[in-house]
Amino acid sequence: MGVLSIAEYLSQIGLPNPLQFDQRYFREEIRALASELKEVEAHIAAVKAMIHGLALIYGPGVAKSELLQSVRPEPRTNKRGLTSACRLLLQQAARPYAVSEICACLDELNPELLLRHRKPMASVMSVLRSMERQGQVVRGRERGRSVWQLASSTLTTEAAPSATAQECSRSSAATL
């Protein structure tokens, strides 16, 4: 005879298992607490903004320096340069690139650039759309997908692509 678990033993003697719990109840409880946490965080942010605003208007004498240090807005931590990197990549491209190819090349050239973006392809797409509105890039269709190239680029078949563009073309074709 093997060793019985507590649940098996309790079921053999006809007692309910006190270790089982209602998963639906706990899911609802977690959801409610998460909602409450969002509300509390929103209140904290509002109070910090108010204290910071009062300090800007009335001077640092409004509150103690420790409090003012804790409510000061944090400096930007995101790194800029995605637009210029996309522009540089498209300048060196021998052909129009899809967003996934641009992401692969950017990741190969500068891995830290897309590291802090939650959705790198969406970020690159936003940059490309912004550049399109400014008339810097042109969107086209190739095999049913969107491809992008510089608006001023009139690539001919005789034009030799740069070494970086050739390298990115090979690597992005291999990753796709």
**C-alpha span between 169 and 102 (Å, rounded):** 10
Cβ atoms of residues 35 and 27 within 8 Å: no
Give residue 123's domain range: 82-175
Do 132 and 97 share a domain, yes or no?
Answer: yes
Residue 1 is assigned to a structural domain of this protein: no
Do 56 and 105 share a domain, yes or no?
Answer: no
Do 122 and 67 share a domain, yes or no?
Answer: no
Long-range contacts of 117-125 (CB under 8 A, 24+ apart): 117/82, 123/82, 124/82, 124/86, 124/99, 125/99
Q: Pick from 49, 71, 93: which residue ends a domain?
A: 71
* Residue where the block lists tokens 């992401």: 103
Number of structural domains the chain divides into: 2
Do 155 and 101 share a domain, yes or no?
Answer: yes
How confident is residue 76, by pLDDT bands cut at 50, 70 and 90? Answer: low
Residue 76 is assigned to a structural domain of this protein: no
Residues contacting 103, CB < 8 A, separation 6+: 114, 120, 121, 124
Report the chain's mean pLDDT, rounded to a whole number.
81
List, for residues 121-173, the tens digit of each pLDDT value. Answer: 999 999 999 999 999 999 999 888 999 999 876 443 333 444 445 555 454 44
